[in-house]
């Protein structure tokens, strides 16, 4: 019997011709495993209720077809409740789009570059609120060139209209927001610059606008490096800017703690500590070796947590990994349909309001395991994903790592070569093993 070997997905996320060293995507579309458009549509009732259980299982088995990835992710990230109807979701979507337009207009009134199609790439204000004359603004971006200090390539232009006479700003919140705008611009130019998608100025400016609006709305966190990597896929898989914003915002509800850094600690410190505990229990030899090398704080894994493996996997494989993670962790208790007044930003995952009474059939496989084990504060699956990567490289680390530089080099060598499916399977095995040992102790 003939079997479909599967289709590569790189054609959906086209790489620029001159970028020859970009890792190929391992994820393939497989009939009978990958969630197809036909199966996705069949999962809805005539009113629009989604039977989420079988959908989660199929995503775990074979990911999501790129053509429907955007609408599936809106459910996985909790933008929509599977218990809502088509009509309810249309109303929610329209309400959110109106709200995003208001926020964007609020930002535009504070800085006219928002929504202009331009990207700020140099400071426009001093720390004490004084406007800077002739700030550099990117007009026609070429992602691989980045921001340059001269206008010789036609990409940069000075914009000093209204700057000479603009009064100093005294509102500290506005000053702080405006100070981040050029950093967002510089990061946007570095984000996924190998993709054809970002050769278009409109796509770059859309990413910049979303991050600028989010930085204003979530004042506690604002903008930090790494957020552009988290947001970029949302721009690519969803056509509407407001829809992309709310997908990003929902994901940030889970991750915003990662971006809270002080002089004393980093946002992912608790996850790094959990990783150390897991490794000590499941691979004590490796943990002791890392301790001896001075890596007991596991800071070498910082990047994996911060940008959810965007550097360790190809673009297509990182999306496959994300949707498998979200399907495995899915718990409707953390998601609820936004009411008209409930479209604010800046809530951590624990702040999500309780959804409808659920059965274990509505839970992802990872969450079902946590429920069976009666874990009060389960660890995010990302901790076990990183642990599975370390386990996979355990022998090499034990044999070849003679210092922290060697540890970093060995882990950097996996970039683009990791298998997302294998990593998820390994994470589930380690999770089960860890729960057993934790129960005994």
Residues 137-153: tens digit of each pLDDT: 665 444 444 433 333 33
Distance, in Å, from the CA atom of 266 to the CA atom of 160, rounded to the nearest integer, reads 38
Structure tokens at 126: 């001093």
Q: What angle do CA 379, 381, 383 make, to 5 degrees?
A: 70
Distance, in Å, from the CA atom of 294 to the CA atom of 160, rounded to the nearest integer, reads 51
Query: Which has the minimum average pLDDT: 5-19, 73-87, 112-126, 207-221?
Result: 5-19
Does the pLDDT at position 2 exceed 50?
no
Supply the CATH classification number for the domain 269-440.
1.10.472.80
Domain boundaries, the chain: 24-85, 87-259, 269-440
Residue 76 three-state SS: helix
CA 219 from centroid of its chain's CA atoms: 19
What is the model's pLDDT at position 334?
67
pLDDT one-digit tens code per residue, 343-383: 455 554 444 334 444 567 788 999 988 888 877 778 899 99
Residue that is written with structure tokens 């360790």 in the block: 312
**Is 212 within 8 Å of 244 (Cβ atoms)?**
no
For 400-423, what is the mean pLDDT? 88
Residue 120 three-state SS: strand
**Is 121 within 8 Å of 147 (Cβ atoms)?**
yes
For 25-54, what is the mean pLDDT? 93
Pick the CATH number of 87-259 from 1.10.8.270, 1.10.150.120, 3.90.1210.10, 3.40.50.80: 1.10.8.270
- φ, ψ dihedrals at 315, nearest 5°: -55, -50
**Is 20 within 8 Å of 416 (Cβ atoms)?**
no
What is the model's pLDDT at position 196?
95
Does the pLDDT at position 65 exceed 80?
yes
User: E strands along 372-429, which residues?
Assistant: none
Does the pLDDT at position 406 exceed 70?
yes
pLDDT one-digit tens code per residue, 88-118: 999 999 999 999 999 999 999 999 999 999 9
For 257-264, what is the mean pLDDT? 70
Distance, in Å, from the CA atom of 174 to the CA atom of 181, rounded to the nearest integer, reads 11
The DSSP H or E segment spanning 91 is helix 86-110
User: Is residue 202 very low, low, confident or very high in pLDDT (cuts 50, 70, 90)?
Assistant: very high
What is the model's pLDDT at position 265?
55
Query: Which has the minimum average pLDDT: 96-105, 106-115, 255-264, 425-434?
Result: 255-264
For residue 347, count other CB atoms closer than 10 A to its CB.
Answer: 16
């Amino acid at each position: 019997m003939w079997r479909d070997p599967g289709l590569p997905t790189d054609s959906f996320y086209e790489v620029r011709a001159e970028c020859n060293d970009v890792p190929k995507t391992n994820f393939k579309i497989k009939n009978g495993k990958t969630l197809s458009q036909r199966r996705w549509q069949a999962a809805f009732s005539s009113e629009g209720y989604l039977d989420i259980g079988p959908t989660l299982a199929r995503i775990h088995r074979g990911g999501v077809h790129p053509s429907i990835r955007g609408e599936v992710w809106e459910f996985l990230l909790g933008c929509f409740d599977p218990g809502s109807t088509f009509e309810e979701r249309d109303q929610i979507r329209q309400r959110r789009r109106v709200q995003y337009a208001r926020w964007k207009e609020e930002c535009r009134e504070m800085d006219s570059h928002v929504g202009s199609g331009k990207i700020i790439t140099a400071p426009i204000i001093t720390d004490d609120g004084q406007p800077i004359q002739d700030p550099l603004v990117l007009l026609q971006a070429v992602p691989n060139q980045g921001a340059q200090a001269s206008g010789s390539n036609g990409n940069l232009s000075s914009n000093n209209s209204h700057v000479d006479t603009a009064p100093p700003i005294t509102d500290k919140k506005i000053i702080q927001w405006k100070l981040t705008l050029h950093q967002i611009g510089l990061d946007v130019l570095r984000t996924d610059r190998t993709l054809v998608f970002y050769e278009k100025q409109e796509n770059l400016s859309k990413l910049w606008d979303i991050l600028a609006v989010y930085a204003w709305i979530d004042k506690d966190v604002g903008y930090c490096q790494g957020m552009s990597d988290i947001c970029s896929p949302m721009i690519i898989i969803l056509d509407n800017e407001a829809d992309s914003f709310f997908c990003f915002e929902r994901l940030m509800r889970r991750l915003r703690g990662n971006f809270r850094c002080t002089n004393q600690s980093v946002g992912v410190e608790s996850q790094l500590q959990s990783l150390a505990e897991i490794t000590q229990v499941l691979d004590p030899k490796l943990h002791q070796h890392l301790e001896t090398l001075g890596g007991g704080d596991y800071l070498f894994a910082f990047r994996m947590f911060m940008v959810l493996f965007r550097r360790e996997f190809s673009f297509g494989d990182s999306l496959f990994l994300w949707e498998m993670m979200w399907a495995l962790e899915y718990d409707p208790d953390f998601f609820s349909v936004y009411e008209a007044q409930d479209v604010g930003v800046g809530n951590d995952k624990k702040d999500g309001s309780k959804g409808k009474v659920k059965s274990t059939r509505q839970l992802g496989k990872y969450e079902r395991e946590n429920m069976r084990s009666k874990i009060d504060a389960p660890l995010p699956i990302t901790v076990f994903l990183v642990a599975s990567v370390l386990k996979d490289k355990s022998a090499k680390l034990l044999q070849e790592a003679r210092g922290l530089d060697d540890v970093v080099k060995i882990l950097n060598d996996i970039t683009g070569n990791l298998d997302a499916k294998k990593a998820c399977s390994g994470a589930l095995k380690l999770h089960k093993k860890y729960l057993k040992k934790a129960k005994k102790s």
